[in-house]
Amino acid sequence: MKDVINNEEIEALEKVVKKVKRPELKEILSVQQQILRAIDEFMIKEDVTRVMPLMMAPITDTLNHDVEETELNYCGQKFDVMKSMIFHKQLILMNEGLEKIYIVSPNIRLERPERNDTRHLFEFSQVDFEFKNAKMDDVLSFIEKLVSYVFSDLKEKCSKEIINIAGSLDHLNISKSFDRYRTEDLYEKYGEDFEKIASEKAVEPFFLINHKREFYDKEDLNNPGTYLNYDLIWPRGYVEGLSGGEREFEYERILVRMDEIGQSRELFRNYIEIAKRGLLPQTAGAGLGVERITRYVLQLDGIDDVTIFNRKPGETPYIF
């Protein structure tokens, strides 16, 4: 076996060395560590129980966009890497003693390289939380308090690091409540690229509500065609930082929503059986991107500026 690497690998290797040795990496990681520490503190104050993540399972998030599938076989059964623990959060809350849970959850989504942008990674982490018997307004209020708590904590404990990289703390000064906009209203105002344009014009985080996407996002039956879900949009062009919603939990409604988008019932047969037995609780929740909030706090150009090793879709070869 030859120990000679080709020119493409040499170039990629040099990029890795430069990325790992950059002087600002320690400050980036320190800020990200404090973000997670503040989130843990807030969750404890709010009596939200932390559970450990899963890395693979027979079912995972169906997502509302195309990614490369990563199927593997274990003990004669098909598994997928975890795209998010959305279904498992619902199942965990079947336990009568648990009301509110969260997970610092590693996720793998093999995004298509053509989605080349500043906010997607094929491997990332999110703070995934879910509450039993919660409504959309409950979760939005919780998110507002969570973000305010984290930003206040960072201004107190990481001001030097943030100013060194971002140049200011002004973007962390936010209102106690965030504006809400409907997708159809912003689409009418700004056109196809409404999320990006609205984010660029905004000076504070805001909620974008009413997306037609995954079958598990609950439809408001009092207003058919309206969905009880939401994204948190970071301002200054940093776009989506969190996504969530109320969940469909009733057997018949799950089947209707699955059929609407052509989702395989066979793949979710065990999940459907749980719903059929009336065991799925009514829940609502969200997932907050760890790398995305770190990027916003430090006002970095791209999401890959937050990572140690390259996890940007389409950047080849991946040396490490």
For 102-133, b where at least 16 C-beta lie within 10 A, e where not — what string? bbbbebbbebeeeeeeebbbbbbbbbbbbbbe
pLDDT digits (tens, 9 = 90+) for 16-31: 999 999 999 999 999 9
Closest CA to 251 of 270, 278, 218: 278
Band the pLDDT of 315: cuts 50, 70, 90: confident
CA–CA distances in Å: residue 123 to residues 117, 230, 231, 284: 15, 23, 20, 25
Q: Round to whole Å and give the CA distance between 148 and 168.
A: 17
**Domain boundaries, given as residue ranges, for the chain:** 7-306
C-alpha R_g of the chain: 20
Contact between 127 and 39 (Cβ < 8 Å):
yes
Question: Among residues of the chain, what percentage have pLDDT more than 90?
Answer: 87
pLDDT at position 2, please? Answer: 60
For residue 240, how many C-alpha atoms fall within 13 Å in the half-sphere facing its CB? 18
Range 148-153 average pLDDT: 98
Fold for the domain defined by 7-306? BirA Bifunctional Protein; domain 2 (3.30.930)
Average confidence (pLDDT) over 243-262: 96
Span 35-49, average pLDDT:
98
Is pLDDT of 152 > 90? yes
Confidence bin at 5 (pLDDT 50/70/90): confident
pLDDT tens digits along 63-103: 867 788 888 999 999 999 999 999 999 999 999 999 999 99
Instruction: Provide CB contacts within 8 A for 242, sequence distance 6+.
Output: 143, 231, 232, 286, 287, 288, 289
212-240 pLDDT, tens digit per residue, is: 999 999 999 999 999 999 999 999 999 99
